Amino acid sequence: MAQEQTTGERNPGGRNAAALFRWLNEHRLDLAILVALAAVAGSVRLPMLAEIPAGLHGDEAWTGIDAVRVLEEGWIGPYVTSALGQASGPIYVAAPFVGLFGETVFSIRLAGAVMGIATVLVAYLAFRVMFDRTVAVFGAVLLAVGVWHLHYSRLAFPVIAWPLLEVLTLLFLFLAIKSGRWLHYALAGLFAGAGVYTYNAYPVFALPVALFVGWIALGLALARERRAELLRRYAARVALMAGVALLAALPLILYVTDSSNEYFNHQQTISLFEQSEWQEAGTWDRAELLKDKAWDFYRAAFWSGDPDEADGAGQQAMVDRVSLVLLIAGVFVLLVRWRRPASVAVLLLVLLVPLGTFVTIQGTYRQTLGVVPFLALLAAIPLALWWQQSARFVPRLRYASYAVIVGVVGLISFLNLSFYFDDFPDSELARTTFSPELTETVEFITDLPDGGVVYFYSDRWSFDYEVIRYLAADRAGEDRSTVFGEFSLEPDPSQNVAYVFMDPYKERLSDAATRFPGGREVDGGGSYLAYLLPRSQAPAPTPTAVSAAEAMRQRDVARMQDLEEIQQTIAVYTAEGNALPNTNGDLQSLCVFRELDAGCELLEVLDQLPEDPLGDAGVNGYFYVSDGATYSVYAQRETDAFPACDEHPEFLRQFDALLCVKGP
């Protein structure tokens, strides 16, 4: 006996291997299901990532730009101001993909696809703990093929991390409730707190979770036996969960509470409560506004769709008709079983997570992405009940019933996948949102030989646009369009020159080829035309050519003239008895978003407000802030032709220096 014990102690690896083998054997079915789910989710998220949707959104490019910062700098903080402000958690996830696969469309979208696949797998585990294996399988499959989650899984928007942290939180919260283990409560708190680094709307998830935790406490308070002991044990564990959550969220909490970071600028810009229609409305009218917002969401998401050019969603309803019928049935089932903790949790989540879109004015489908796993779960419940009841039928009827259920899931898959892979890629919404012509143009620029300069001609994008900055970061270029620079065809004789013409400048290729023969023309298939002029063919610069430094000085002169005109316009506007356009101290673009920017009120006295010489007003334009008593208007400063403004708002740190006027 002693000899056997000594032998066992000398071979701990053998005992560990045996324990692992037993664990694998006990969980072999769940492991097989996870492998199958990974195959299903991956088969619709990984193929043609860079091609569907074709192109790259500017906010996706920001994910890549910030991921490069992570690779170069390491810690970039819990929050970044790019894309109008977003939590940085998913950016850290994207960084190794960019490091491994380069600065490409595929690399940043692959990070989102991996998080989407992980969400499907964790959802299965969470649903398995909350309900049973059958519900979990159907719920995970419907989540995997549903167009709502699929769409964001194939993009590089950070929002895709939100559902992942939700299902991780629920997985360990339900394990904690069932086991009472401190570790499970701590892990639930860890993932709940870490969720704040996924998306700005994530905190709404805390409301249904808190109510559910309170509902469990109420049940313990009504227990007939050991009431005080059970409540004390539960309260201690929930306190641990809350403490870990706060600790995990602490870096972002500190960032938010630092007023110099201007964290709430973006939230206030899109908040319904900051809009004049809300502030001027009475109680009843505000209730009507909220009712209309709720109706708009449910109509768009579940019935008719509402295209959103900010992310390409909403070409049609985000939930197909078959799934809609199933999830309505699932709601009734859970209402009947309302005493069960999982039923209460899901109903609370489905009811409350969409609140984010009720109180904001944009991003309908992004603001509610956190509800999508639970919609899939609702639709899965009647299918699972049907499957379980079928097991009681006689064999012939049983297998026929199974076949019908599989057919229903197949129909749901067909409705979602045929739309996304057949109809959506060629839609006007996809082309407008992701601009494939720009991505094709930038890929051409990226493939040019090193050592030259690109002359870029486009009225829609500047050479400093995020997509170009990300995909062609190592390419030297300058804007030659009338919108973003000074139009000129004069080449630099000391460099190889690539003229790249996009609409409406394509006809200028013939002018360049006629004036400077010896180059090579390239047809970009409708996206662009290019003319590659070797250094030896470029003539010496003409005396009339304007230097880059002089062009910047001229732009600063134009900006000061514009700022003075804006100042005069404000004076006229207030002289007519109007109050200063008031942003409540928040910095806004002067008038880019007609429904949001207070400066647009000046259009009452001026038909058109001045625009920055570089164009792209949301990036390079004029910016306005007022507290109702005073105001400031800012513009970027490129030269020392005029004194720099003595203030530099954090939101404009992308500019080295600013010009400004103040009043009254």
Q: Quick one: pLDDT band at residue 606, thresholds 50, 70, 90? A: confident
Q: How far apart are CA 49 and CA 59, in angstroms?
A: 16
Side-chain-side CA neighbours of 373 within 13 Å: the count stands at: 33
At 7, the pLDDT band (50, 70, 90 cuts) reads very low
pLDDT level of residue 249 (50, 70, 90 thresholds): very high
Structure tokens at 466: 């995020």
Is 0.85 surpassed by the pTM of this model?
no
Q: What residues contact residue 184 under an 8 Å CB cut-off, 6+ apart?
A: 172, 173, 175, 176
Q: How confident is the model at residue 338 (pLDDT cuts 50, 70, 90)?
A: very high
Burial bucket for residue 149 (CB in 10 Å: 0-12, 13-18, 19+):
buried
Q: Enumerate residues 6+ apart whose C-beta is below 8 A from 222.
A: none
Distance from the Cα of residue 147 to its chain's centroid? 16
pLDDT at 657: 87
Q: Please report, as a single letter, which amino acid is at residue 429.
A: L
- Higher pLDDT among residues 16 and 423, named by residue: 423
Non-local CB neighbours of 48 within 8 Å, separated by 6+ positions? none
Closest among 86, 85, 90, 144 to 118, alpha carbons compared: 144
Q: How far is CA 46 from the centre of its chain?
A: 18
- Name which of 350, 338, 357 is nearest 290 in CA terms: 357
Q: In this model, does residue 542 exceed pLDDT 60?
A: no
pLDDT of residue 573: 87
pLDDT at position 2 is 47
* Residue ranges in 131-259 assigned as alpha helix (H): 133-145, 147-153, 161-179, 182-194, 206-221, 227-257
Residues ≥6 apart with Cβ < 8 Å to 137: 33, 37, 124, 380, 384
Q: Is the pLDDT at 585 greater than 90, yes or no?
A: no
- Please state the length of the chain: 664
CA distances from 256 to 29, 50, 157, 249, 372 (A): 45, 35, 22, 11, 28
Q: How far apart are CA 498 and CA 453, in angstroms?
A: 6
DSSP state of 365: T
Q: Is 643 exposed, middle or buried (0-12, 13-18, 19+ CB in 10 A)?
A: exposed
Other C-beta atoms within 10 Å of 72: how many?
Answer: 9
